[in-house]
Structure 1
Amino acid sequence: MPAHLAVAPAPARPASACPASRQSAPEYLAIDDLCGEDAQMQALIARGKRFIERGLPILILGETGTGKEFLARALHDYSERRAKALVAINTASIPEHLVESELFGYSRGAFSGALPGGMKGKLQQADGGTLFLDEIGDMPLVLQTRLLRVLSEREVTPLGTTHPVPVDVQLICATHQNLPALVAEGMFRQDLYYRIAVGVLQLPTLRARTDRRGLIARMLCDEWPQLSAAQALQKVSPAALERMLRYSWPGNLRQLRAAIRFACAVASGPLVELRDLPQELLAGDVALDAMPAMNLPPALPSPELTRVSFAAPQAATNDDSDDISPQACERDRILQALACHRWNISAAARTLGLCRASLYRRLKHLRIPHMRDCAHEIAMGQSPALAS
C-alpha cells in the first residue's frame, strides 16, 4: 500500500503476498495514519479534524510533494460527507480555455464541440461531497471571480444557460505558492483568498519532519511486502540509509518514494548500496544541516551550469537578502532547474513538481523567454536572459 505520509511501523506481511499493480489507483490512508510520531503532523491532523467537523473551507499549503492531496482525501474520508464523492481538479494541469467548462459544466449546445447532452461540472459532481481544488494559485483571474460567486451564493450557472443550480460542497484547496504574495501582485483576488483561507493547514517539508526513518521503512515495505519495517531497513546499507536520512529532499515525499523505487529496482546485491541511489542524491551531496531556513531566498544561478543545484539553494550572505521578493526567488528556482536540464521543459517541470502547462504559465508570468525565442544565446552557449 503506497504510504507517502504513513510513519507507523508496518506489520510483517506473508511471503506469498504480492505487491499491488503499479497501474492501480493508490490506496489513501486514514487520517490517523498520517501523523505518525512527528509532533508537527500530529498537531496539524488534530487541527484539520476540527476544521472539517465544522465544515470550514480548508486551505492546504506546502511545498511540492508534501502530500497535500493525501491530506485532502483523508479529511474527506473523516468527514460526515464521506459517503458522497470527493471530486479533485488540478487547475494547473487543464488548459486555461477548458477550466471554466470543467469546473462549472455546460448545457446542450453551449459551444462548438460540446457533448449533445451537456456536462455536469466538477462543482455539480461534488454536490453533497467534497471539492478539492489543487494548485488554486494557478486559477485564472476571471474564474476566480466566478468561483467567489459560487462560494457566496452556493449555486453554479453552467455555460450556455442562465438557470443557476444549487450546490453544497465542502471546499478544500491546496497550493505550493505564496498566495498573499500573489494577492499583492494582483494575480489572486484578495476576497477569494479570505474566503478559502479559513482553516489553513501548513504541511511540513520532509526535511523538517522528525520521522524520516519511519517513512523510509514504510516505503521500503511497499517494495518488499513480505518484510516487516525493521527487516526492510536491514536491507539498506548504513551508508545508503545515512545519505537518505541526511539528504534535503527538495521534492519531499514524492521524491523520496521515487528514489526508493529506483534504488530497489537497480540494486544487484543483497543490500541497497549507496551507488544504487539516484544520481541527484550522489551528485548534489546536499546535507540536511546545510539547508537554509524555509523563508530564506535562494542564491542567484551559478555560471557553472553543470554544478548548479536547483535542489539546494544557499542562504544569501548579504544584508539585502530580505529585500528579495518571493517572485524573484521563484524565478531563480525555475531558472536553475531549466539550466540544469539544458532548457528541457519536460525535465525541468518534473524536477519542479509541475506539469508542462503550469511551467509554461509560470514562465509567461515571470517573463522568462522560452528557448526557441533565444536561439542565438543558446547557440553561443549562454543562458537565455530574463525579459526586461
Structure 2
Amino acid sequence: MPTTPVAQPLPDRDVCSIPAGTAHSTCAPHAPRYRDIDQLAAGDDLMGDLVERGKRLIDRGIPVLILGETGTGKEYLSRALHDYSARRRANWIAVNCASIPESLAESELFGYCKGAFSGALPGGMKGKVQQADGGTLFLDEIGDMPFALQTRLLRVLSEREVMPLGAQRPVPVDVQLICATHQDLKTLIADGRFREDLYYRVAGGVLRLPALRERSDRRALVMQMMADELGHPVQDSMIEPAVLQRLLAYPWPGNLRQLHAVIRYSCAVMNEGRITLRDLPEELMQFQPAGLAQVLPLHRPASRMALEAPGQGGAADVRRDERTRVIEALNGSRWNISAASRQLGMCRASLYRKLRQLDIPHVRDQAMPAHAAYAVA
C-alpha cells in the first residue's frame, strides 16, 4: 500500500471513541476516551517497547498484526496507532470478523451496487473497506474470518482495489490495515483454516500485547481506571491496602477488560469515597493472595515438624495468624456468619470452608457461651 509521509501526533487532540464510518472531527458527549499512544505504556517496559515499535511501523505502509489474549487492549492499541499516524484525520473503521454472519460478510466488507441482489438498498452501499479509504481498516478477530472471504481479502490487499457486488469495474482503495486476533494463526494455517499467503500479507509487522499479569504497571493502571471512573484524581487513601494487595496479586484471566469491569463495579458500590474488601466482586472476595492461601493441616507428621527450625514456622505462623483473624471476626460479629464474612472480605461459602480448614467449630456445633469464651490456639 502507498507510503504516506511520517507525521507527528497532534499536541492538542482529545482522542475519543467514534462510531465506525465517522471522521474524528467531533466527540460525542460521555463517549469512552481512547488514550494517547504514549499513555498506553503507563511505565511498563514491555508496553513501552511495543508502543515505540508500533509508532515506527504505522506510517510505513506496512500491515500491522496485533496479537494478545482476550481483553489485553488490541482495539485500543489499533485506535491509538491510527490517531498517531498521518491518517488520523480520516476514518478508523472497525470490523469484528467473528460477529458478521458469513452470508453477509462479503457485502459488509466490499459493499454492493444498486440492484445487486433482492433486498439491496436502492442506492447501493459502500463496504467497510471503501469507508476506510484514506484511513485505517481494523479487522478484529481475523482468525475467525470465513475461508472463502480470505481469498477476496487477499486480492484487495495485493491489488489495492475492491470489487463491490454487482459492480462492473473495481474501485481503487488506500487503507492502512491493522488486524488483531487472540488465536495462533500458524496453528490455524496447519489446520487448513487460514490461508498462509494471507498471513504473510497481514503480518507485515507483529505487535504482541503482554497479558495484564505480566505487566509491571498494574498499580498505575488501577489508579488511572479509578480516576477515569470517578472523574477526578485518586489518592492512595481511597483504596484499602488489602484491596490493592488483592488487585495486584490477582491473575486477571480477562486482562484489562476484566480489571476495568471490577474497578467500575467497586467505584459504584463503595461508601464514603473508599473501596474496601466488601466492595469487590465475588471472584475477588474469594481470591486469597498466596501468603494467606497456604494453610497446613492442624496435625502435621512428626518428621515434618522436626524439619522446621525454631522460630521459622513459615506456613504454620501464617495459619496461626489467619486463625486468630477469623476467630476475632467471628467473636466481633457474635458468630453471625454473614457479618463475619463481610468483615473478612469473603463470601459465606468461603468462610465455611475456612472454618473447616482451620478446625474452628461452627456455632451450630456448640452453645453460644462456649464460642464467646473461645480461646485462640
TM range (shorter): 0.5 to 0.7
User: For 2:231, what is the secondary structure of its paired residue?
Assistant: coil
**Which amino acid letter does the alignment assign opposite residue 69 of structure 2?**
E
**Residue of 224, 227, 231 corresponding to 2:230:** 224
Distance in 2, Cα, partners of 1:286 & 1:113: 58
Partner of 1:14: none
User: Where do residues 132-281 of structure 1 align in structure 2 (5 Å cutoff)?
Assistant: 132-226=138-232, 228-229=233-234, 231=235, 233-281=236-284
CA distance in 1, matches of 2:240, 2:159: 58
1:265-304 Cα shifts (integer Å, max 9, x gaps): 122355211121111122354769x9xxxxxxxxxxxxxx
Matched, 1:64 2:70: yes
> Which whole-Å CA distance do the structure 1 matches of 2:109 and 2:144 have between them?
14
- Residue 246 of structure 2 aligns with an amino acid whose one-letter code is R
The CA deviation at 1:23 is 8.0
Q: Highest Rg: 1 or 2?
A: 2
Q: Once the two structures are superposed, what CA deviation does each residue of 1:182-217 show, in whole Å capped at 9, x if it has no partner? A: 111111100000110110000011110000000000
Structure 1 position 84 matched with structure 2 position 90: yes
The answer to whether the aligner puts 1:26 opposite 2:32 as a matched pair is yes
CA contact (8 A) 1:248 1:286 kept: no
Deviates more, 1:189-198 or 1:233-242: 233-242
Q: Do the aligned partners of 1:58 and 1:173 also contact (CA within 8 Å) in 2?
A: yes
**TM-score under structure 2 normalisation?**
0.68
Please state whether the residue corresponding to 1:174 is helix, strand or coil.
Answer: strand
SS at match of 1:114: coil
Greater relative CO, 1 or 2 (CA 8 Å, sep 6+): 1
**Secondary structure of the corresponding residue to residue 162 of structure 1:** coil
Q: Does 2:288 correspond to 1:282?
A: no
Q: Output the CA distance in 2 between the equivalents of 1:143 and 1:284.
A: 44
Q: Please give the secondary structure, in 1, of the residue aligned with 2:58.
A: helix
Distance (whole Å) between structure 2 residues aligned to residue 273 and residue 68 of structure 1:
31
Cα-to-partner distance string for 1:95-144 (whole Å, 9 max, x where unaligned): 22111111000111111211000000011011111100011011000000
Q: Deviations over 1:349-370 (max 9, x none)?
A: xxxxxxxxxxxxxxxxxxxxxx
Quick check: 1:248–1:287 contact (8 Å CA) kept in 2? no
Report the alpha carbon displacement of residue 219 of structure 1 after superposing the two structures with TM: 0.6
Give the letter for the 1:66 counterpart. Answer: T
Let me know the Cα RMSD of the aligned residues.
1.9
Q: 1:125 and 1:284, CA in 2 relative to 1: closer, same or farther beyond 3 A?
A: same
Match of 2:43 among 18, 37, 41: 37
User: What SS is found at the alignment partner of 2:189?
Assistant: helix
Q: 8 Å contact 1:247–1:287 — kept in the other structure?
A: no
The 1:286/1:116 distance shift into structure 2, 3 A limit, reads farther
Output one character per residue of 1:282-333: Cα deviation in whole Å (capped at 9) or x when no partner: 2354769x9xxxxxxxxxxxxxxxxxxxxxxxxxxxxxxxxxxxxxxxxxxx
Determine the structure 1 residue equivalent to 2:9. none
Deviations, residues 25-64 of structure 1 (Å, cap 9, x unaligned):
2121111111121000110011001111212100000111
For 1:165 and 1:285, locate their aligned partners in 2 and report how far apart those are by CA, in whole Å.
58
Kept in 2: contact 1:103–1:121 (CA 8 A): yes
Q: What's the CA shift for 1:180? A: 0.7
Cα distance in 1 between the residues matched to 2:273 and 2:240: 9
Distance between the aligned counterparts of 2:121 and 2:91, measured in 1? Answer: 23
**How far apart in 2 are the matches of 1:185 and 1:281?**
38
Partners of 2:287 and 2:168 lie apart in 1 by 56
TM-score for the superposition, normalised by structure 1: 0.66
Alpha-carbon distance in structure 1 between the residues aligned to 2:204 and 2:77: 17
User: Relative to 1, partners in 2 of residues 1:125 and 1:286: Cα closer, same or farther, differing over 3 Å?
Assistant: farther
For 1:187 and 1:275, how far apart are their aligned partners in 2? 46
Kindly report structure 1 stretches of 4+ aligned residues shifted beyond 3 Å: 21-24, 284-288
Q: Secondary structure at the match of 2:194?
A: coil
Which stretches in structure 1 are left out of the alignment for 5+ residues? 1-20, 291-388
CA distance, structure 1, for counterparts of residue 40 and residue 280 of structure 2:
26
Q: What letter corresponds to residue 207 of structure 1 in structure 2? A: R
What SS is found at the alignment partner of 2:75?
A: helix
Structure 2: runs of 5+ lacking an equivalent: 1-26, 294-377
